[in-house]
Amino acid sequence: MEDFSYRYHLITRKVTIRNGSFRVYAWHPRPWVMEDTPPISWMLDRVSPEDVVYDIGANRGYFTLALLSNISGVRIFPFEPNPEVMAKLKANLRLNKDKDYVRPVKYALGAEGGTTTLNISWVDSASSIRAVHAEDSGHGIRSTVEIQVKTLDKLVFEEHFPAPQHIKIDTEGFEVPVLLGAKETISQYRPFAYIEVHTINGSQDNEQDIRQALYPHGYSIQRYRMQLLCAPDNKRSKTYS
């Protein structure tokens, strides 16, 4: 039913988060109050007007739209390599104002450029380059698609994307390669990073690997449930309790 509403633009619902609201296509028109918890609460506390945000693993654009509805002039680059989900993200953007501040990007980000296979799970938010994650978290793999991978450093230093002040990373177990491909950007521009932790082989999570990737850059890291707030040591970091 939800995919049907995206395809035929039949059903929309209002989503409220803090002082903002936006509309998305969904299976039911009932209003939805988005939880003001990490990582979105951390982002809403820190992102300023005209900041640049990279929403890496944007899915259908809920975080992007939450920021747009609360913060005037914020510029957002939502990265979503799944073509089916990218179409849904763009459909959601068209429902809302200020979409001119958003530039959707169809690439995946990783440690090096090239192409790779994206495993599309039955739960599209669990689709992943890591087949085991798409299989375990998404109730199986229903298809695959070849996607292009670039490094964040290439986009910033060679393709002249604006440097981010904030990067949110939720790439279903592929968070560390994203960080490894962003070394120069992190070192030079020192963005806040909001990163979701995922399990490895169904048990151990990748928090320590994320910490190791950020350690050379001097970041303070705190965890709330499955979310990490990674703040450069030269910037003030509010805590969450």
- For the chain, what are the domain ranges? 2-232
**Which amino acid, one-letter code, is at 71?**
I
Per-residue model confidence as pLDDT tens digits over 168-182: 999 999 999 999 999
User: In this prediction, what percent of the chain has a pLDDT beyond 90?
Assistant: 82
Rounded CA-CA distance 173/154 in Å is: 22
Q: How many other β-carbons are positioned within 10 Å of the β-carbon of residue 142?
A: 14
Average pLDDT over residues 196-207: 83
Q: 2-232 belongs to which CATH class? A: alpha beta
**Which amino acid, one-letter code, is at 36?**
D
N- to C-terminal Cα distance for the chain? 38
Task: Report whether pLDDT(202) > 80.
Answer: no
Task: Count the alpha carbons within 13 Å of 95 in the hemisphere toward its beta carbon.
Answer: 26
Rounded CA-CA distance 224/241 in Å is: 8
Residues 198, 214 contacting (CB under 8 angstroms): no
Per-residue model confidence as pLDDT tens digits over 71-125: 999 999 999 999 999 999 999 999 998 888 999 999 999 999 999 999 999 988 8
pTM (2 d.p.):
0.94
Rounded CA-CA distance 92/98 in Å is: 12
- What DSSP character marks residue 206? S
- Work out the angle between the directed axes of helices 62-70 and 83-94 (0-180°, nearest 10): 30
Look at residue 239 in the predicted model and tell me its pLDDT.
44
User: What are the start-end ranges of the H helices in the chain?
Assistant: 2-8, 40-46, 62-70, 83-94, 131-137, 152-157, 175-180, 183-189, 207-214
